[in-house]
Structure 1
Amino acid sequence: MRAFTDLLMLADGRFPAGGHAHSGGLEAAVAHGRVRDLDGLRAFLRGRLRTAGLVGAAFAAAACARPEAMEALEEDLDARTPSPALRLAARRQGRSLCRAALVVWPGEHVTRAAKARVSQPIALGVAAHAAGLSPEEAALLAAYHAVSGPASAAVRLLGLDPYRVHAVLAELAGECDEVAREAATHARGPVEDLPAASAPLLDVSAEDHAAWEVRLFAS
């Protein structure tokens, strides 16, 4: 039962991992008129889940299965993240997650991850391993974070009804499971075979967003 509680903690948006400060690219999408309503949000979340979400879930699962390989995983994740702004945002989130994990689940791998300043998916996988979770559970956490963060930001950015926003998340539950299963199948394979699904518009928008003088979210 302890592992299940730890799973809930890592999935909880109130866990002090810094996710509340990031919109996952939604702020830029809203500013440029690509997301205007609930239907637009649904399409954005689905696209993000199948691209950045899949990659993040696979790397989280791999880091959970092989935390000793976190540096190699970090290098390959960098290669799949062409935007410097996204790499910086991921490392900031990873640092926040490691700070929390050092207190809640201290251990050798978490300490190494904090010193190495790994990205959020790697930090999530290492924290999941320290909490006694499986690679499959780490992948599911990452897939859920890929959509729940932007969904939460949508309430502030668009003034959407939070009940309807969470109904959209519930609609995507099956797809989150599918993405997590696909990601977990790669967890114990060669690092170079991990997914490399791309979302060029997210990369371009991240660079644009990073140059704004005024913004609600860090990414």
Structure 2
Amino acid sequence: MVAAGLAAAAAAGYDPLLLEEAADARTPAPALRQAARRLGRQLLRTARATWPSAELDALAATRPHGAHQSVVLGLAARSAGLTPLDAAYAAVYESVSGPATATVRLLSLDPFDATAILARLAADLDHVAEQAADAAERVHTDGVAALPAVSAPMLDIAAEQHAARPMRLFAS
């Protein structure tokens, strides 16, 4: 929900640097902030090559060590001519497809079963994307406080524990 709101707000044209601050505030775990910026840096490089824009160039110049993936995703969507709702959908799908792929690799879950689970989540994913896009519409008048700010403390703790392990399973 948080990533979808940030992506939708970036796609709606809200100041990406203010969204960066909002992403930091909504991501208390340093390991998760670092992973989000690393993924954002990679996405920004790809987006600039695919959909060149002054906004992407400006973000790259002001955040040379990376911007949050969700903010970059929203700017990339904007550069590609997509809507805030499209950006929210992309963020929502990315946030569930990654863990589904991990379960296939780590637990040897049948890929078709994982895909079926994602398909059954479609209505919930629609709802989350729509809520995120609605929140993004309010950002221009209400500021970043309009964006979702839900938390998952156990994920933050697990991310920090994973980052400290000598042998990590995934980079993010």
Give distance in 1, aligned partners of 2:107 and 2:147.
Answer: 35
Q: Give the ranges of 4+ consecutive aligned residues of structure 1 lying more than 3 Å apart after TM superposition.
A: none
Aligned length: 165
Report Cα offsets for 1:44-89 as digits up to 9, x if no partner. xxxxxxxxxx00000000000015x000010011011110000000
Superposition pairs for residues 31-50 of structure 1, below 5 Å? none
Scaled by the length of structure 2, the TM-score of the pair is: 0.93
Matched with 1:194 is: 147
Superposition pairs for residues 146-185 of structure 1, below 5 Å? 146-185=95-134
Could you list the runs of 5+ residues in structure 1 that have no partner in the other structure? 1-53
| 2:12 corresponds to 1:65 | yes
Report Cα offsets for 1:4-36 as digits up to 9, x if no partner. xxxxxxxxxxxxxxxxxxxxxxxxxxxxxxxxx
Superposition pairs for residues 1-219 of structure 1, below 5 Å? 54-67=1-14, 69-115=15-61, 116=63, 117-189=66-138, 190-219=143-172
CA apart distance, 1:191? 1.2
Scaled by the length of structure 1, the TM-score of the pair is: 0.74
Which has the higher mean CA deviation after the structures are superposed, 73-82 or 186-195?
186-195
Q: Percent identity?
A: 53
Cα RMSD after superposing both structures: 0.9
Verify the 8 A CA contact 2:136 2:146 in the aligned structure 1.
no
Could you list the runs of 5+ residues in structure 2 that have no partner in the other structure? none
Give distance in 1, aligned partners of 2:57 and 2:124.
Answer: 33
Give distance in 2, aligned partners of 1:93 and 1:114.
Answer: 13
Secondary structure of the residue aligned to 1:102 is helix
CA apart distance, 1:216? 2.5
